Amino acid sequence: MAVAKFDIPEMKDDIEIPKLREGAMSHIKSFPAPEKVQDFMGYPHELGEDWKERAIDKMGELLGKYRSLKVFLDACVHCGACTDKCHYYLGTSDPKNMPVARQDLMRQVYRRYFTTAGKLFPKLVGAKDLTQDILGDWYNYYHQCSECRRCSVYCPYGIDTAEITMAGREILNHVGMGQKYSNEILGKVQKIGNNLGLPGPALIDTLEGLEEDIEADTGVAVKIPLDVKGAEVLFITPSADYFAEPHVESLMGYAKVFHAAGISWTMSSHASEAGNFGLFNGNYETMRAVAMRIRDAALELGCKRIVVGECGHAWRVAYSFWNTLTGIGYGADDPFSVELQKQLDHNYPQPQHICELTNDLIKSGKIKVDPSLNDDLVVTYHDSCNVARASRMGTEPGGQFIIPRELIKSVVNNYHDMADGTIGEATFCCGGGGGVLTDDLLEVRVKGALPRATALNNVVKEHKVNFMAMICAICKAQFTKVLPMYGFDMSMVGGVHQLVSKAIKLEKAE
Ligand code: SF4
Ligand code: SF4
């Protein structure tokens, strides 16, 4: 498929605020979802005559359903604090990629149809009729937002542009303007069980191949079990872990951890995907349909614990939404959730992140590691947005920053953080999250990665960092593709459990 040529931004010593270039990214248009994909999702595939009415009705429905959306649309005072906080603005110079401007694309329409001042004096309050041009801007610029929430950290009112983006995409879907990439994936996961459309037999083959690789490498027969009834842990991980590089290295690391700790575990062919693109589309029914496969698998296999692998948005959905969506964790009270609550072992967090599990096992001495086995590496850590700003880990505030770093430092001897203001709560998105990880948005992805690439480059120059660890499948896929365009070697991108995998000590059977 032909991809438009574009300039790769120049990496400077510091992250600079660019001069405005009006319309710099207005040519970007993510491929629209074809008819059969929209049909499957229950959306129209083209604008009907009543598109405007449908859009306004949907907006009204969302405003009624999500109070936060109304508050965010009402509360902005245009103070400007968020304007230079979005990686897409920093990388593209397009003013419509400023968070406040992205919000205003919807706010102007909201004011026109849902506020008295906007109905009576539209010009005075910047209210505008919804037109096809505005709808086109929504499509372009709501697919140039990775829903990373960095802007909300700097907004004095906590306005979350990601929620406005999600609402925008939900309305676009309802008028027949769905995005091919996200909606195709949502179709595959609901039909087959994972985002890649990998059927059960192919999954079995893949896992057996990885078992052989581990045994060839270590001399130890480590199993990667699938659909084992009665296993203690149901392990849910992104499907990229099954075959993509460097993701598989982490999958082998998880398997070694379970093996070394003697924990019985299984993956599920029915729920072979941790990712949940329902979040990206802002459609809670779709998000629930995807998450329900995990509850079904937990009930079917009778597992006592649910552990989640390295995936940023999957962890956000698991940590922040599974309880009310599916009854994993507390919240839902339907009979299946009640049954699941009785089945799960509440001595453990439900769900639990794999980093927390591994970190606890190392700290308690239940598994042994030798950090010198990673002495060829000088490591830094990229906080993935959904973990950093939309979830937690462990029991302490900030655990989502502390636990992965503790874990890394227990398996490597050489570690350096990137600069403050680019990590932790202020972390820069990889540039490919939130439904942007598609080649038809490659220009957006490459330019949006500029702030992270700049921060990385500084620790490479200062500390000779040669490995950036992360716990997100999307970040891994994005960085391996775009960092080489900034001159980095793609092998410097990898998972935290890739490091664990190298350092862990496995006992050979007598
Ligand atoms: S990509 Fe992130 S920083 Fe930019 S507008 Fe969206 S949520 Fe805000
Ligand atoms: S920081 Fe908040 S209030 Fe200020 S312009 Fe941005 S969204 Fe509006």
Q: Atom of ligand 1 at shortest distance to CA of 165?
A: 6
If asked whether residues 394 and 320 sit together in one domain, one would say no
Nearest CA to ligand 1 atom 4: 86
- For residue 278, count other CB atoms closer than 10 A to its CB: 23
If asked whether residues 464 and 486 sit together in one domain, one would say yes
pLDDT tens track for 402-436: 999 999 999 999 999 999 999 999 999 999 999 99
If asked whether residues 141 and 271 sit together in one domain, one would say no
Do residues 83 and 89 touch, judged by C-beta distance below 8 A?
Answer: yes
Confidence at 510, pLDDT banded by 50, 70, 90: low
22 within some domain = no
If asked whether residues 116 and 206 sit together in one domain, one would say no
Domains held by the chain: number:
3
> Any idea what the CATH number is for the domain that residue 147 is in?
1.10.1060
Query: What is the Cα–Cα distance from 381 to 294, expressed in whole angstroms?
Result: 29
Of 32, 46, 47, nearest to 182 by C-alpha is: 32
Mean pLDDT value of segment 39-50: 94
What percent of the chain stands above pLDDT 70?
Answer: 99
The token pair that represents 72 in the structure block: 């965010």
Do residues 85 and 166 touch, judged by C-beta distance below 8 A?
Answer: no
pLDDT computed for residue 1 by the predictor: 42
If asked whether residues 346 and 372 sit together in one domain, one would say no
pLDDT tens track for 442-491: 999 999 999 999 999 999 999 999 999 999 999 999 999 999 999 999 99
Mutate which of 92, 148, 163 for ligand 1 pocket (most atoms within 8 A of beta carbon) = 148
pLDDT computed for residue 328 by the predictor: 85
Mean pLDDT value of segment 185-196: 84
Higher-scoring residue by pLDDT: 68, 333: 68
- Judged against a pLDDT cut of 80, whether residue 245 lies above it is answered with yes
Note the ligand closest to the C-alpha atom of 156: 2
pTM over 0.85: yes
Query: What is the Cα–Cα distance from 85 to 102, expressed in whole angstroms?
Result: 12
360 within some domain = no
pLDDT computed for residue 5 by the predictor: 81
pLDDT tens track for 273-300: 999 999 999 889 999 999 999 999 999 9
If asked whether residues 296 and 236 sit together in one domain, one would say yes
Cα of 151 vs centre of ligand 1, distance in Å, is 6
If asked whether residues 260 and 344 sit together in one domain, one would say yes
If asked whether residues 387 and 471 sit together in one domain, one would say yes
If asked whether residues 376 and 426 sit together in one domain, one would say yes
- Judged against a pLDDT cut of 70, whether residue 2 lies above it is answered with no
Q: Is the dihedral of CA 176, 180, 185, 188 positive or negative?
A: positive
Q: What's the chain's average pLDDT?
A: 95
Query: What is the Cα–Cα distance from 504 to 499, expressed in whole angstroms?
Result: 9
CA distances in angstroms from 108 to 51, 74, 115, 122, 281, listed in the order given: 18, 11, 10, 9, 21
Q: Atom of ligand 1 at shortest distance to CA of 147?
A: 7
Residue 42's domain comprises: 35-178
User: What is the secondary structure of 351-363 as a DSSP string?
Assistant: SEEHHHHHHHHHH
Q: Atom of ligand 1 at shortest distance to CA of 98?
A: 5
- Judged against a pLDDT cut of 60, whether residue 4 lies above it is answered with no
